[in-house]
A and B are shown apart, each in its own frame.
Chain A
Amino acid sequence: MIRIPCPFCGLRNCDEFVNKGESKRRPAVGAASREEWRAYLYDRVNPEGWVRERWYHRAGCRRYIKVERHTFTNEIRRSEPAGT
């Protein structure tokens, strides 16, 4: 079981969350090429190692949070509110 330290609610079961995928910067609207939009929407690095992800705490504070998770061990070393 993955347990995620929510910055608002504390340590919670991952069943309460929705994984929103790897955290990445959105291209500038109007300035980005079609290729940049495609990469933003569909490309994933998917490493075996540390990855920054966005999770939504659906059954808790209902906030988006940023989490650093190891994709092999599921260890989580950092979490913070999204937008910080």
Chain B
Amino acid sequence: MNPLKKIFFLIAFLPAYLFAGAQNDLNIETIFQNHGKQKGAILIELAKDVLGGHTQISRYKSLILPSDTGVIKATTNAIRQDLKNGKVLMENKKDGKIETGYYCLEKQDSPDYEYILFTDKSRKITLIYLRGKFPPDQLESELNKLKDLFIKVNNKHIKL
């Protein structure tokens, strides 16, 4: 094949490889897809149309579910698989089970950091995926900015 054509195809396929969605490759995406539409679930996806200009978080996805042993096990397994060479930022355990966990995934060839947050408290599971151009030491600061975001859905106020 003509070398120019080879270069063209490489350039054409490269964005697809880079932007196919770092999140789409994650095991936790299965949890979002399998349980995001079930009864009792609240799935919130926020992108730059809401987040832009107020926080460095470019993508926020959270799932709140009633606590269920099967879902908890699947979620913690998915997190473990996605974590690979990533970093455990904080993990609180109770009776051997993870009650709260903050994780930073291994950085890919992208300026973005990816985080997974998990809590299993008060009979509810919360799974959060975050993406943004901020390092782990700024995670708490960026999460605090979300406290200023007020969402009104169906006459109910949601605070993140």
A binds B: no
